[in-house]
Structure 1
Amino acid sequence: MQDELLELQTQLSYQEDTIGQLNEVVTRQQRDIERLTEAVAQLKKQFEEMAAEQLESQEELPPPHY
């Protein structure tokens, strides 16, 4: 009985350590996801601004046959 209790305590200790490590990984991944989401939003905004500028510059140029 004593050996079984010791084995259970050992397993519990390893599980707690594993859960802590997994929590660190999940936390780091969430920060990465948030950072990447912000980066994508900024890139989308820049792309939309560039597309609008491109459209404006095309409207100002005379047609090629002039």
Structure 2
Amino acid sequence: MTNEIVDLQTRIAFQEDAIHQLNLTVSQLQNQLNTLQLAIKELHLRMQNLTPPEDGSSGHEIPPHY
């Protein structure tokens, strides 16, 4: 019976460590996700603020060799 209790305590200790490691990983991934979301929002705002060319060309003109 004592060996079974020691075995269970050992398993619980390993499981607690695994849970702790998983929590750290999830926390790091959440931080990365938040950073990437902010970067995407910033890029989206920058793209919205881009101005079209002043000469009125759309950039889709036929090249002169056609």
Unaligned runs of 5+ residues in structure 1 are 60-66
Q: Determine which structure has greater relative contact order: mean sequence separation of CA pairs < 8 Å that are 6+ residues apart, divided by chain length.
A: 2
What RMSD, in angstroms, separates the aligned Cα atoms of the two structures?
Answer: 1.4
Cα drift, residue 44 of structure 1 = 0.3
TM-score (ref. length: structure 2)? 0.79
Cα drift, residue 39 of structure 1 = 0.1
Q: Secondary structure at the match of 2:47?
A: helix
- In proportion to residue count, which structure has more helix? 1
Between the two proteins, the alignment pairs up a number of residues equal to 56
Unaligned runs of 5+ residues in structure 2 are 58-66
Percent pairwise identity: 30
Q: Which runs of 4+ in 1 moved over 2 A?
A: none
